[in-house]
Structure 1
């Protein structure tokens, strides 16, 4: 099935855009923590020009729906909605945790991946995924925002060799080292649009799209607790 999908992601320090046309991917990616709003639209223009295609020629627009930086996720979905609305395109939201699992498969062929993004405040955005024969990723652990020690206490051993992805493994290396199963360090630190667009293609083939109005982010953390400074209670 011929398909043309544009994907973008600004949910973490990495800013990325990818265009999938059939089996070919045009992509741009740059770690630019404070420059997403400056970088992402020029990246969109670059991949469209490289592929010699217009936004209106696309079948869908995909985006990293989170979890990740609250501001970054909002920037990404806002820009994606604007582009999709202007070109009258359906949208596809893709998990950033699952996108990192897909990246591990792309880079090393890993089929059992555990993703952890540093969520600050002593927690990680967490998900464990096993790749299926059809290319989809099954959730072994449901996506959640959780303290590393809680993960350790609630986990049980298995005989798989998991591959790690994400910034949470560096931030909480000591705590996560106590997990009761084998984890091999992977190369993937951030989600990337070139992996998001591959997962979006699978969703497109199954008719899983939403309108601009129905597209929404996934923050996982619904309630943010602010610690007051001493003397300011």
Structure 2
């Protein structure tokens, strides 16, 4: 199985190829120039393993939530690549990928639930909770909320084991009231984790054709306003 994954969700640009259990990745921490960086990184990753686009089984990309612009860049790029070689795309949660990256960086967290969090601006965060047993499915519905509501939701939930936090969204002071055993704000989304999460989703048949790929913004009203501004230009 060969899956090429791309991500420009939040603060970084990365491309990774999962090929029969082995993963090759290019990762650059950058806030801009995603469009200029992505395709050369795709070429580099494919060259590393001696493959072409036609030899891939599928593509994978973060479906969100995350930066409006970042999501659109990666999704548009994947759509173009997938369409050119008639391959499907596996959409993966950016929050789930963040949690998997945290688990990879912190083996001492073992099988503990991880609360992934991205800054949604406007004093809100995108968040979800992921277990080692179901890494693609949040134990609480993925949501965009203010930090106080997140703290309340975590307190109202009975956890059978310690929980940890990961991601830059944890910087809000109000989240200090959350009952977590540790937080890593520096965890970023990697395409290698998107690729790994895409494997079981591909096996379950959740891939879509390029034209049907849609981002999950969570904050629909803000997305609609941005779309209206773009259309009016």
Q: Give me the TM-score of the superposition, normalised by structure 2.
A: 0.89
Task: Tell me, yes or no, if structure 1 residue 175 matches structure 2 residue 174.
Answer: yes
Identify the residue that residue 229 of structure 2 maps to in structure 1. none
Identify the residue that residue 211 of structure 1 maps to in structure 2. 209
Q: Offset of 1:106 from its aligned partner? A: 1.8
Task: Tell me, yes or no, if structure 1 residue 152 matches structure 2 residue 184.
Answer: no
Identify the residue that residue 165 of structure 1 maps to in structure 2. 166
Gaps of 5+ in 1: 227-233
- The more displaced of 142-151 and 161-170 is 161-170
- In the alignment, the residues of structure 1 paired with residue 68 and residue 101 of structure 2 have an alpha-carbon distance, to the nearest angstrom, of 22
Q: Offset of 1:99 from its aligned partner? A: 0.3
- In the alignment, the residues of structure 2 paired with residue 154 and residue 17 of structure 1 have an alpha-carbon distance, to the nearest angstrom, of 34
- In the alignment, the residues of structure 2 paired with residue 29 and residue 104 of structure 1 have an alpha-carbon distance, to the nearest angstrom, of 16
Q: Give me the TM-score of the superposition, normalised by structure 1.
A: 0.89
Structure with greater proportional helix content: 2
Q: How does 1:105-116 map to 2 (within 5 A)?
A: 105-109=103-107, 110=109, 111=111, 112-116=113-117
1:8 touches 1:80 (CA, 8 Å); kept in 2?
A: yes
Task: Tell me, yes or no, if structure 1 residue 52 matches structure 2 residue 47.
Answer: no
- In the alignment, the residues of structure 2 paired with residue 20 and residue 122 of structure 1 have an alpha-carbon distance, to the nearest angstrom, of 36
- 4+ runs of 1 displaced by more than 4 Å? none
RMSD of equivalent CA atoms:
1.7
Structure with greater proportional strand content: 1
Matched residue SS, 2:139: strand
Q: Offset of 1:38 from its aligned partner? A: 1.0
- In the alignment, the residues of structure 2 paired with residue 160 and residue 13 of structure 1 have an alpha-carbon distance, to the nearest angstrom, of 31
- In the alignment, the residues of structure 2 paired with residue 72 and residue 161 of structure 1 have an alpha-carbon distance, to the nearest angstrom, of 33
Q: How does 1:1-233 map to 2 (within 5 A)?
A: 3-109=1-107, 110=109, 111=111, 112-132=113-133, 136-155=135-154, 156=156, 158-170=159-171, 172=172, 174-179=173-178, 181-186=179-184, 188-224=186-222
Gaps of 5+ in 2: 226-233
- In the alignment, the residues of structure 1 paired with residue 222 and residue 53 of structure 2 have an alpha-carbon distance, to the nearest angstrom, of 37
2:165 touches 2:180 (CA, 8 Å); kept in 1?
A: no
- In the alignment, the residues of structure 1 paired with residue 94 and residue 145 of structure 2 have an alpha-carbon distance, to the nearest angstrom, of 16
Q: Offset of 1:159 from its aligned partner? A: 4.6
Q: 1:60 to 1:129 in 2, by over 3 A?
A: same
- In the alignment, the residues of structure 2 paired with residue 23 and residue 136 of structure 1 have an alpha-carbon distance, to the nearest angstrom, of 17
- In the alignment, the residues of structure 1 paired with residue 34 and residue 137 of structure 2 have an alpha-carbon distance, to the nearest angstrom, of 30
